[in-house]
Chain A
Amino acid sequence: MVKDEDALLVDRFKKGEEKAFNELVKKYMKRIYYLAYSLTNNHADALDLSQEAFIKAYRSIHRFRGRSSFYTWLYRITVNICLNHLKREARKKEVSFDERIEVAQVDWWINPKKALENKELQENLTKAIGSLPPQQKAVFTLRYLEGLPHKEIASILGCSIGNVKANLFQALQKLRNKLKGYVEG
């Protein structure tokens, strides 16, 4: 079987070649950083937590047996670190998940490009997604912002595909309620 590029880099790193780890970081730093940012919505946290994920990967690479792809494994580490962070933060301050976002009517579906540039819409989307409970936020982010298939999300989060779908449905329903001004009427 021909090994993919990541597997070869992992092998080289396991044999002590530090440069191979640098290559893996360069390849995935943007994806890991933006994943952490999508989950935390804070650039300082995203930088810190994404680097924590790489540090953890560096120190436990020997545990990576290649049963999943390297990037699925790295995503799993990142999501776990971010979820722990979100849970700690949630404990620090009680977050209300029922707050409804009041918005002016925007015909975003007529002109999605304009909607993309709409600052208020972006702020409300950020606020709505940010208010999801950690597990739903993780599933939602991996599916809608990262575009991963259900099976891969299940593998990253260590849950069943049915669980992923249930979390997605609940997340969508919550977002629909929060973004009522945009999607109803």
Chain B
Amino acid sequence: MISCRKVKRWMIDYLEGTLAEKEKVLVDEHLSKCSQCAQEVEVLVKTQKLVRLKARKEMPEGFWAHYLPRLRRRLEEKPLSRLEWRPVPTLALATATALVLLVVTVNLFRTPSLNLESLPRKVLVREVVASNSELDYFIADSFEPEEIVQALIPQEMLNSLMRGGEMYETL
């Protein structure tokens, strides 16, 4: 006979009828011999049935008629934060790209650890845009500008850029 502990482990599946037939037979066998577990199952089955009787107070139709207009008002009232997306892909792309350029440009001159000052601006812009495959980064306004730069420019490329931009001399 299986243990009481095992019965407890299988209890939810047993109560919900999702226990495999083989295990169900073992639980039934256990319950026929263990009055404590049988009583536990009986009470839990009753609890299950009881909680399903929880009624829901239906809201009147008038409430639903105002739901969408109210939501639209809230959407209009609460302006988008500077990094949030608008449902127009081209606008989102333009906003995100402009933001990257701004952040990178600012950081060129205030992040000595990255040492990007020596890079031609045009080259840097091109690389940032080309490596910008995850626009989602711009939604998460919790990133520090340095993190955005690190995230957008692959480390290998960043290393090359920091070595002095030799790779672009031929461009």
Seen from chain A, the residues whose Cβ lies within 8 Å of a Cβ on chain B are 13-16, 18, 21-22, 25-26, 29-30, 33-34, 37-38, 43, 51, 54-55, 58-63, 108-109, 112, 115-116, 121-122, 125-126, 129, 140, 144-145, 150, 165, 168-169, 172-173, 175-176, 179, 182-184
CA distance A125 to B44 in the complex (A): 15
Q: How far is the CB of A125 from chain B (nearest CB, A)?
A: 5
Most buried by B among A29, A122, A165, A183: A183
28 contacts between A and B (CB under 8 A): A14-B87, A14-B89, A15-B89, A16-B89, A22-B72, A25-B71, A29-B67, A34-B56, A38-B56, A43-B59, A51-B74, A54-B71, A55-B78, A58-B75, A60-B139, A61-B85, A62-B135, A62-B136, A122-B54, A144-B54, A150-B18, A165-B13, A169-B12, A172-B44, A172-B48, A179-B50, A183-B43, A183-B50
Enumerate B132-154 residues with CB–CB distance to A below 8 Å.
135-136, 139
Report if A176-B13 is in contact (Cβ < 8 Å); known contacts: A121-B53, A145-B54.
no
Contact A21 B50 (CB under 8 A): no
Our pick among A29, A55, A125, A129 for the contact of B68 (Cβ within 8 Å) is A29
Report if A112-B68 is in contact (Cβ < 8 Å); known contacts: A14-B89, A55-B78.
no
CA distance A150 to B17 in the complex (A): 12
Interface bin, chain B: 35 or more
Interchain residue pairs A-B with the least CB separation, the first 6: A183-B46, A176-B47, A165-B12, A16-B88, A125-B54, A169-B12
Contact A109 B51 (CB under 8 A): no
Q: How far is the CB of A23 from chain B (nearest CB, A)?
A: 10
Interface of A, secondary structure class, is: helix
Asked whether B31 is an interface residue with its Cβ less than 8 Å from the other chain, the reply is no
Contact A55 B71 (CB under 8 A): yes
Chain B's closest residue to A182 (CB) is B50
Contact B50 A108 (CB under 8 A): yes
Chain A's closest residue to B92 (CB) is A62
Report if A29-B53 is in contact (Cβ < 8 Å); known contacts: A15-B89, A55-B71.
no
Asked whether B6 is an interface residue with its Cβ less than 8 Å from the other chain, the reply is no
Q: How far is the CB of A14 from chain B (nearest CB, A)?
A: 6
Asked whether B49 is an interface residue with its Cβ less than 8 Å from the other chain, the reply is yes
Contact B68 A25 (CB under 8 A): yes
CA distance A125 to B48 in the complex (A): 12
Q: How far is the CB of B20 from chain A (nearest CB, A)?
A: 14
